[in-house]
Amino acid sequence: MITFYNPHHALHQGQFEMYRGALVPCHEVPARADHVLAELKRRQLGEVLNPQPFGAEALQSIHAPRYLGFLETAWGQWVALDPANAARDALPSVWPTRSFRTDMEPDNFAARMGLYSFDAGTPLTSGTWVAARAGAECALSAAQHVVEGGRSAFALSRPPGHHAGADFFGGYCFLNNAALAAQHLRNSGVERVAVLDVDYHHGNGTQAIFYDRPDVFFASLHGDPCTEYPFFLGYADETGQGAGLGANLNLPMPRGTDYAQWAAALEVALAAIGRFGAQALVVSLGVDTFAQDPISGFALQSEDYLRMGERIAKLGLPTVLVFEGGYAVDAVGVNAVNVLQAFA
């Protein structure tokens, strides 16, 4: 399996996040991708390449230009407020909520941060834009490899992407890599694309992007949003709207779910993808379903990821796999590469 690796991912390295009422060291760290890369090389699982460049129009196929403009210039705006800000990350502190206006972009930087975010756990750093942009190019390069006839490709990048919407960031995510890959497949002539999200946390950004579209099917297996982040999307009754009605499938599960329960839900998702008639697949590959993950609640073991990869491969679809979550850092390489090896 070919891997497109983000050589700039470590430029995004947050110092602190707001977690359960306290500023704590970030769970989303560069070592996550480093461990996956090391395990890929140890198992000699295939060629590792840098991504090819893509223009702004590729990002604009998913993300609002106003939002992209903010991300690209936000760090400079933050430091311009106070040169001392160069030594600390930017975190949002105020948000628009129901009945507030979002069509106007305020002049105040804190207000703009809030306009484009949905949590205080996603620090914006000096290298966020460069890292996120290169990560998006990894996903787009992986999709292009599949378009050109490759059976599969892996986008190894951070920050992750599936919580990012068309015009908002959060959940450690700024650009939605899986959505960008799916849209690139569509733009390249694949008529029906499925996105399968196996991260512990619901891919709220991906769902929001495709919710009213009939050409991209989104299926997500995740912790029950009644108790689990991101809380406000991911319920089973969310099935799409308008032309997209029926093209969204959420399979929430309780804390403590083991692989047998999880695999039964996977069968439901794969059957739905088959009925949809998908011609290509994008997998949001989060491995924070691992029993020892510090911010999640499922009970999968490392060997379960081999079975996961093998089962997904049986769909027989051209597949782009995109690295998402997984915060048991020492195990993330083994778990992610178990999926890839079994798939390959």
Residue positions annotated with a catalytic role? 163
| Alpha helices (runs of H) in the chain, residue ranges in sequence order | 31-43, 56-60, 65-81, 109-115, 128-147, 177-187, 204-210, 259-276, 304-313, 329-343
Q: How many angstroms separate the CA atoms of 259 and 99, rounded?
A: 42
**What does the block give as tokens for 301?**
């073991």
Q: DSSP for 174-206?
A: SS-HHHHHHHHHHHTT-S-EEEEE-SSS--HHH
CA distance 95 to 87: 24
Token pair for 5 = 């690796």
Residues 6+ apart with CB under 8 A from 97: none
Rg (CA), the chain: 19
Closest CA to 293 of 284, 282, 302, 283: 302
Task: For the chain, report the end-to-end CA distance as a whole number of angstroms.
Answer: 6
> What does residue 89 show for φ and ψ, rounded to 5 degrees?
-75, 160
